[in-house]
Amino acid sequence: MKNILLLLVITCSTSFAQTKPVKIFISVDMEGIGGIGTSKMTSNNGKDYDTGRKLMTAEVNAVVKAIFQVGPATVLVNDSHGDMQNLLHTELDPRVEYIQSNIKPLGMVQNLDESFDGIIFIGYHAMAGTENGFLAHTGAGNVKGLWLNGTEVGEGGLNAYYAGAKGVPVILASGDKTFTEEIVKVVPTRTVATKEAIGSSAAKLLHPDVVHKLLQEQTTAALKDLKNAKALS
134-191: pLDDT as tens digits: 999 999 878 889 999 898 999 999 999 999 999 999 999 999 999 999 999 999 999 9
157-166: per-residue pLDDT in tens?
A: 999 999 999 9
137 catalytic? Reply is: yes
Confidence label for 20 from pLDDT (cuts 50, 70 and 90): confident
Stated pTM of the model: 0.91
62-102: per-residue pLDDT in tens?
A: 999 999 999 999 999 999 999 999 999 999 999 999 999 99
Q: What would the 3-class secondary structure string for the chain be? A: CHHHHHHHHHHHHHHHHHHCCEEEEEEECCCCCCCCCCHHHHCCCCCCHHHHHHHHHHHHHHHHHHHHHHCCEEEEEEECCCCCCCCCHHHCCCCCEEECCCCCCCHHHCCCCCCCCEEEEEEECCCCCCCCCCCCCCCCCCCCCCEECCEECCHHHHHHHHHHHCCCCEEEEEEEHHHHHHHCCCCCCEEEEEEEEECCCEEEECCHHHHHHHHHHHHHHHHHCHHHCCCCC
| Rounded to 5°, angle at Cα 38 from 33 and 43 | 80
Give all domains of the chain, ordered by start, each with its CATH number: 22-228 (3.40.50.10780)
**Length, in residues, of the chain:** 233
Backbone angles phi, psi at 94, to 5 degrees: -65, -10
Among the listed residues 81, 137, 207, 212, the single catalytic one is 137
Angstrom distance (rounded) from CA 132 to CA 200: 6
Does the pLDDT at position 103 exceed 70? yes
- Which pLDDT belongs to residue 17? 44
Nearest CA among 79, 82, 73 for reference residue 57? 79
Nearest CA among 208, 172, 193, 201 for reference residue 54? 208
